[in-house]
């Protein structure tokens, strides 16, 4: 949630909302990089353990899934069996000491074609988004004098529980941004943020069209995001509140669409008959398949916002990639104008 003041004596509040693992915290981290002084060496040091825990969680999850997905995936190299057993044995240890032995086993396992094949099927189980990113950087993460980069910090996944505030000023306008947990049991805490809200920034993970949510291992993640969006859009207390929609994880969506393994129409049958609107502007050099996919998902959300609203509130969609600082800088600059207009309208200064 972001509080803006500057055009009137009243602050403006913007709620950051979205389902679990949509990228809300990553966007708030970008605000720190762009508008606060980023992360100091001490804060970077404090994140090392979280990053190494991401590595452990990732390899434990993949190796454990090899025998549970149907059909199961065997190790390509049977000599890696003892490594796989080692990883499973350390899974329950919470205050684990990250030894060189651990990193060596992880590196060898990640090089195993069977482990890679299981990773390719990660939509069949629950795997953190940053798994590949950190497993590919195991050499640097394992260094004794490892210092995380900004990109490492952006990728690092830590479950958000509670409400976190980031404050900054841009062009004499004060922002208070509140990051809230997106898992179902966290959402009841949002209600305390709804008072005096001027705009909601809703974050949706577009790449999640072929995944299920952690909470029940059954509900489609994109469907859950659409349902949550609809409940916020139609909430009787929020009928005059406009929503800025961040259609996030565009990089991962493009990757999935171009890989061609998971077809959108298998999860959303209406995609088969979808045609891209004439006014759609693709990015330079963008594959037409990617353009069609991203506008289809955009239109799923816009269908909800145009069905009701009576002209009292609007939905402003933006395609985003939360780990791309330049993309977030550009999008946020566009949003500032929209939010400031809403702020003026709220206090009838427009």
- Binding-site residue numbers for GTP are 21-26, 154-160, 179-183, 248-251, 322
95 has catalytic annotation: no
**183 part of the active site:** yes
Q: Is 231 helix (H, G, I), strand (E, B) or coil?
A: helix
Query: Which entry of 21, 112, 129, 152 is annotated as an active-site residue?
Result: 21
- Pairwise CA distance, residues 47 & 45, whole Å: 5
Q: 200: which 2 tokens?
A: 């909601």
Q: Is the distance from CB of 14 to CB of 3 less than 8 angstroms?
A: yes
How many residues are there in the chain?
Answer: 350
SS3 state of residue 191: helix
Catalytic residue (choose from 12, 179, 292, 340):
179
Nearest to 129 by CA among 49, 208, 212, 56: 208
Which residues neighbour 5 within 8 Å (Cβ) at sequence distance 6 or greater?
11, 12, 173, 174
DSSP letter string over 220-253? Answer: BHHHHHHHHHHHHHT-GGGTT-EEEEEEE-HHHH
Beta strand pairing status for 197-205 and 163-170?
unpaired
179 catalytic residue (yes or no): yes
- Binding site for Mg(2+), by residue number, is 25, 160
From 12, 26, 198, 320, active-site residue: 26
Tokens 């994109």 -> residue: 222
Active site residue 326: no
Residue positions in the annotated binding site? 21-26, 154-160, 179-183, 248-251, 322
- Alpha-carbon separation of residue 40 from 36, 45, 105, 215, 291 (angstroms): 11, 9, 32, 35, 38
Distance CA 66, CA 221 (A): 22
Catalytic residue among 52, 83, 137, 157: 157
Sign of CA dihedral 252, 306, 282, 27: negative
State the catalytic residues. 21, 26, 157, 179, 183
């Amino acid at each position: 949630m972001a509080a803006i003041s500057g055009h009137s004596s009243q602050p403006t509040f913007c709620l950051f909302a979205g389902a679990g693992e949509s990228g809300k915290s990553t966007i708030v981290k970008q605000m720190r990089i762009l508008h606060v002084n980023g992360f100091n060496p001490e804060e970077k040091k404090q994140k090392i353990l979280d990053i190494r825990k991401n590595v452990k969680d990732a390899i434990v999850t993949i190796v454990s899934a090899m025998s549970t997905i149907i059909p199961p995936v065997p190790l390509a190299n049977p000599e890696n069996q003892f490594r796989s057993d080692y990883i499973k044995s350390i899974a329950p240890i919470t205050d684990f000491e990250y030894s060189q032995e651990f990193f060596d086993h992880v590196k060898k396992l990640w090089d195993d074609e069977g482990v890679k094949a299981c990773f390719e099927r990660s939509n069949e189980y629950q795997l953190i988004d940053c798994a590949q990113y950190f497993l590919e950087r195991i050499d640097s993460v394992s260094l004794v004098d490892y210092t995380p980069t900004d990109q490492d910090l952006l990728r690092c996944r830590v479950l958000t529980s509670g409400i976190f505030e980031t404050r900054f000023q841009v062009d004499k306008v004060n922002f208070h941004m509140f990051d809230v947990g997106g898992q179902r049991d966290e959402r009841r805490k949002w209600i305390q943020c709804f008072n005096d809200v001027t705009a909601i920034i809703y974050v949706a993970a577009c790449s999640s069209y072929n995944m299920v949510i952690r909470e029940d291992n059954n509900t489609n993640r994109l469907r859950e995001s659409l349902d949550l969006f609809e409940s916020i859009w139609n909430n009787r207390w929020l009928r005059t509140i406009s929503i800025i929609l961040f259609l996030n994880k565009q990089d991962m969506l493009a990757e999935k669409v171009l890989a061609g393994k998971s077809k959108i129409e298998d999860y959303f049958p209406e995609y088969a008959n979808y045609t891209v609107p004439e006014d759609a502007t693709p990015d330079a050099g963008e594959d037409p398949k990617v353009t069609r996919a991203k506008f289809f998902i955009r239109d799923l959300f816009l269908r909800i916002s145009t069905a009701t609203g009576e002209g009292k509130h609007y939905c402003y969609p933006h395609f985003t990639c939360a780990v791309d600082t330049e993309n977030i800088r550009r999008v946020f600059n566009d949003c500032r104008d929209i939010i400031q207009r809403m702020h003026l309208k709220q206090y009838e200064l427009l």
